């Protein structure tokens, strides 16, 4: 059975303007590989209600799981929760359990929640909260969409809560063989390997290391024995071109 | 007049598997801000012909400029040029001028081009080559789509060739004011600022610096006088909450 697929929708003008280097998709990619969910798309969009709604609706029908990152804070540019409610066609309002989490976290710092902070307790109808130890403000899951913070430490904490609950697949394993020759020298045998072992993906990544032009070959799949066989063939190839 | 918009389509299993941290979108975002082209979407897709064709066709009608990164080498997993030709409905074949560039670069290293390396001279009909000083293999532009390498040093070199030729807009300027209070404390005046200065975007980015919970406010726009005014108002706000 093929693995379930996933996408991440990153929401934030700060990524598209070049101010901030996106970090959460890379973390998600590694974690999903580990549990056997295939990440098939990363999409970054601006803080624009209509664009977020359209992207969410495209991704949630195409994939088993959709993760979002960003836009769930207390300020005017945090519009993700409302866009998710609109995408699902459900209402959204401040929810008591979410408000209590936020008030409790602020009280621990000796602060009373402002009306703006309570905006973070606005949760679409029918969602389940993602309660985490780093941020008082929760994320939430609705249908197959998991809405998480953009701040990397909070994204990591929320993903650790959500991931064990998801339908997973067979973990993808990967092995890498380093060649100290350029891609062009080994392209033909690599194509043959990819054709003869269709259960694996064979990726070819050129690198430059000082004066050395080399190529890292990455084989990925779910069957350790097949990966061993591919690595043995690659090592044989390496001996023949070395 | 609004600035022209752009998107980047990053092609590569290695990003989606978590093996490689994507780097070109961040570089592109900064360069486009500088010349006044608004990057509106970053999309990362796998080495899958149909997915690449669909994404290209969605992005090239939605944006003035589309950049692609990755998948233009000599190996079996380099399928971008064929996907671009299919998206435009044009033929593709080895082109003499592209072949000469590749042969010349290889000859300089004392190597004769293999059939696989000459695959890199396959160029869609009607495209213009992106000849650059780093890689013998050229990128190409066809219509509003600019096809570039995934290797960051080559992507940077190709973008430097392409960017000056594009219809640009008014550069976006940005200014940043650091608050040593959380977002919740300043959300109401920030919303008012964003409403009263609709020509600017006002972004709010929380940070944690040791024990300090702070917020960086970024204002962006094209008019330096308006940005000065916004910064003055933010500094006044900072003095009042400090």
Q: What is the ipTM, given to two decimal places?
A: 0.95
Based on the domain organization, do A161 and A187 belong to the same domain? Answer: no
Of B195, B209, B33, B213, the closest CA to residue A13 belongs to B33
Residues B174/B218, Cβ–Cβ less than 8 Å: yes
CB B67 within 8 A of CB B8: yes
Best of B9, B12, B13, B18 to substitute, by most chain A Cβ atoms within 10 angstroms, is B18
Of B165, B191, B217, which marks where a domain is finished? B165
Please check whether residues A191 and A144 belong to one and the same domain: no
Residue of A153, A150, A88, A154 whose CA lies nearest to A124? A88
Residue of A40, A115, A174 with shortest CB distance to B16: A40
Residues 6+ positions from B119 with CB-CB distance below 8 Å:
A187, B74, B78, B94
CA distance A177 to A166: 32
| B196 reaches A (C-beta below 8 A) | no
Mean per-residue pLDDT of chain A: 95
Say whether both A110 and A192 belong to one domain: no
Going by pLDDT thresholds of 50, 70 and 90, the confidence category of residue A47 is very high
Q: Give residue A23's pLDDT band: very low, low, confident or very high (50, 70, 90).
A: very high
**Torsion angles phi and psi, residue B174, rounded to 5:** -140, 150
CA distances from A107 to A61, A104, A111 (A): 40, 5, 5
* Strand stretches in B38-172, DSSP E: 38-45, 65-69, 92-94, 122-124, 128-130, 139-142, 145-148
**A151 Cβ under 8 Å from any chain B Cβ:** yes
Could you say which of A108, A130, A165 is where a domain stops?
A165
Residue of chain B whose alpha carbon sits nearest to that of A45: B41
Are A131 and A180 in the same domain? no
- Report the residue from A74, A115, A191 with minimal CB separation from B76: A191
Going by C-alpha positions, the residue among A99, A170, A179 that lies closest to residue A131 is: A99
Confidence (pLDDT) at B3: 92
**How far is it, in rounded angstroms, from Cα B220 to Cα B123?**
39
Q: Which of A182, A187, A180 is nearest to B116 (CA)?
A: A187
B152/A contact by beta carbon, under 8 A: no
Confidence band (pLDDT; 50, 70, 90) for A210? Answer: confident
Subunit contact B40:A43, Cβ cutoff 8 A = no
**Poorest-pLDDT segment among A125-129, A209-213, B80-84, B192-196:** A209-213
Query: Among positive and negative, which fits the CA dihedral A151, A154, A159, A165?
Result: negative
- Distance from the Cα of B13 to chain A's closest Cα (Å) equals 8
Answer yes or no: are the C-beta atoms of A33 and A198 closer than 8 Å.
no
The answer to whether A17 contacts B25, with C-beta atoms less than 8 Å apart, is no
Domain co-membership, A156 together with A58 = yes
What is the band of A15 on the pLDDT scale with cuts at 50, 70, 90? very high
Question: What is the number of structural domains in chain A?
Answer: 2
Give the gap in angstroms from C-alpha B125 to the nearest C-alpha of chain A. 24
Same domain, A104 and A182: no
Residue A110 CB burial class (10 angstroms; 0-12, 13-18, ≥19):
exposed
Low-confidence residues of chain B: pLDDT under 50? none
Statement to judge: residues B186 and B106 lie in one domain: no
Q: In Å, how far is B37's CA from the nearest CA of chain A?
A: 10
* Same domain as B218, residue B98: no
Judgement on whether residues A147 and A232 belong to the same structural domain of the protein: no
**pLDDT per position as a tens digit, B184-202:** 899 999 999 999 999 999 9
* pLDDT at residue number B52: 98
Q: Do A31 and B41 make contact, defined as CB atoms within 8 angstroms? A: no
CA distance B192 to chain A (A): 9
**Is the CB of B59 inside 8 Å of chain A's CB atoms?**
no
Domain boundary (B111, B137, B165) is at B165
Domain check: are B14 and B126 in the same one? yes
B9 and B100 belong to one structural domain: yes
Which domain, by its residues, includes A117?
5-165
Tell whether A80 and A110 lie within a shared domain: yes
Q: Does A222 touch chain B (CB under 8 A)?
A: no
CATH number at residue A211: 3.30.1370.10
């Amino acid at each position: 059975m093929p693995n379930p697929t996933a996408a991440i929708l990153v929401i934030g003008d700060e990524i598209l303007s070049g101010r901030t280097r996106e970090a959460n998709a890379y973390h998600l990619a590694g974690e999903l590989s580990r549990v056997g969910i295939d990440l098939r798309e990363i999409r970054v969009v601006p803080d624009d209600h209509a664009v977020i709604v359209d992207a969410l609706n495209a991704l949630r029908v195409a994939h088993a799981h959709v993760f979002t990152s960003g836009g769930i804070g207390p300020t005017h540019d945090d519009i993700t929760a409302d866009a998710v409610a609109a995408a699902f066609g459900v209402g959204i309002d401040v929810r008591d359990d979410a408000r209590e989490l936020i008030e409790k976290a602020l009280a621990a710092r000796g602060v009373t929640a402002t009306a703006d902070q309570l905006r973070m307790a606005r949760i679409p109808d029918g969602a389940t909260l993602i309660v985490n130890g780093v941020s008082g403000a929760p994320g939430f899951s609705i249908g197959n969409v998991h809405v998480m913070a953009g701040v990397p430490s909070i994204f990591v904490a929320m993903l650790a809560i959500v991931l064990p609950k998801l339908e997973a697949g067979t973990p993808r394993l990967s092995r890498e063989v380093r060649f100290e020759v350029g891609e062009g020298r080994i392209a033909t045998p690599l194509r043959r390997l990819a054709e003869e072992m269709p259960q694996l993906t064979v990726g070819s990544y050129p690198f430059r290391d000082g004066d050395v032009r080399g190529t890292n070959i990455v084989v990925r799949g779910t069957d350790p024995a097949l990966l061993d066989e591919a690595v043995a063939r690659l090592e044989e190839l390496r001996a023949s071109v070395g």
